[in-house]
Structure 1
Amino acid sequence: MMQALQKCPLFYLLTCLALHALGSEIINGKKVREEEMQYMASLQDGADNHVCGGFLISEDFVLTAAHCQVGTTSVVLGTHNLMKVDNKMMRFRVKTCKHPSYNNASSGNDIMLLQLLKKAQRIKNVKLIQLPTSDIQIKDNATCHVAGWGFTKTGGETVNVLEVVDVNVTNLEICKREWKADKVELPANVICAGGYETDKGFCKYDSGGPLVCGEKAVGIVSFNRRENCNYPDDPNVYTDISKYLPWIKEILEKKRC
């Protein structure tokens, strides 16, 4: 959390204190089978510690949250168990492509592409996940899911094996109302799901992971409230991927930021 605060201008300090921008954990989830969700990526620091989630959208790009840039030096692909990492085959050094309008999670545009410095095409147990092809609006109460290696309770610890939980999409106006009651104005281009009127959602160190509806990644884990994962609480907030498709497409076509 201190890293997140150091990047917030004084003007945003009170807002940043109200958010949990540095990741989020899976609450009341279950372990993911090895043959499922093989697009998931673990973003790691220089000491090979998990710091955020992400997901593979092409053979050389992972999509994640912009606030995950802090500390990230590599990406691990091809395993759900972080105790089983072949550094030679599964670890990829990366170049960060943060959205140019990103300032902090509270002001939105919390999206980033990571360019792998070698392609992931020959790695076993790795698949791509599709993105929306156009601007979409997810139906209220739609059941989606989110996964990560983060905490399983407030103040807990990260897990070694990937976990997933179903979450329902919250009406955006209700989401805005609940956050406004805590004196937080939601940024534009977000989706809300989980954490509200339910005991399921994300928490610390799941940031950057995908909100998956059907077979497509539609959102990116952005923030919850004050590191609190004792749900029900304010709705969990995700970046709406469909609003950034032109920016994503341009980078993937150029293969550079």
Structure 2
Amino acid sequence: MEQQNYQYQENSVFVQENAVSKKFFANVFTWMFVALAISTLAAYFINSSLEAQSYLINPLTGGRTTLGTVAMFAPLALVLIMGAGFSRLSYGVLVGVFILFASLLGISLSYILVVYQLGSVVGCFAAAAGIFGIMAVLGYTTDVDLSKFGPILMVGLVGLIIASVVNWFLQSAQFDYIMSFFGVALFTALTAYDVQKIKRIGLGIEANGDQIVAVDSKKLAIMSALTLYLDFLNIFLFLLRIFGGRK
């Protein structure tokens, strides 16, 4: 009888932890879709208003204005703030910074709708969503430990960043084209890697009702959503650089 009670309690704990993991995972994707929706609406609003566009793009030269340059680099600064201040920022502040990040990113992405044909943008967005979805399912369901590929992926990411900075000065279209293929491959792999990592984070969260743990899990969901959002965004942008038709 005692053994049966022990097995019952053990199964109950497993079910509880599994439910907590699924709830955490659902929160991550909910926040990711919220950010995606905010960015899309912001980009659409800027693109549909010539007056708003004039604040970001100089009508005479077609180049970015000072405000447009700020809008382009501000999301990166906010990502750094969220990462560095994770332990110090409250959940409410973190949510506010996350929403601000998504809004400013949408504003900076509105430039895409000015440069590329709408059909190309929609097509690349759909392709990115398909790739992201497949790799997310793969990362969640696979029994292969993807963590061993982490160092390789991080080296690839650093290499891509360095190559992008170098090409910023070289302005080589051919080099940019080659990097775009590498970028798609890299962030496709990172999607599966990050999803499995997020799944393990969810499994590691203790459902003990402690307030600190509850707050931390919510903050972790925000940061995890940010990671997946950046994976999807980079797949989309690199696909657009390869297949996008310019106006």
Which one has a larger percent helix, Structure 1 or Structure 2? 2
Tell me if both proteins adopt one fold, taking TM over 0.5 as the criterion: no
State the TM-score, normalized to the length of structure 1: 0.24
- Larger RCO: 1 or 2 (CA < 8 Å, sep 6+): 2
Which one has a larger percent strand, Structure 1 or Structure 2? 1
State the TM-score, normalized to the length of structure 2: 0.25
> Which structure is larger by alpha-carbon Rg, 1 or 2?
2
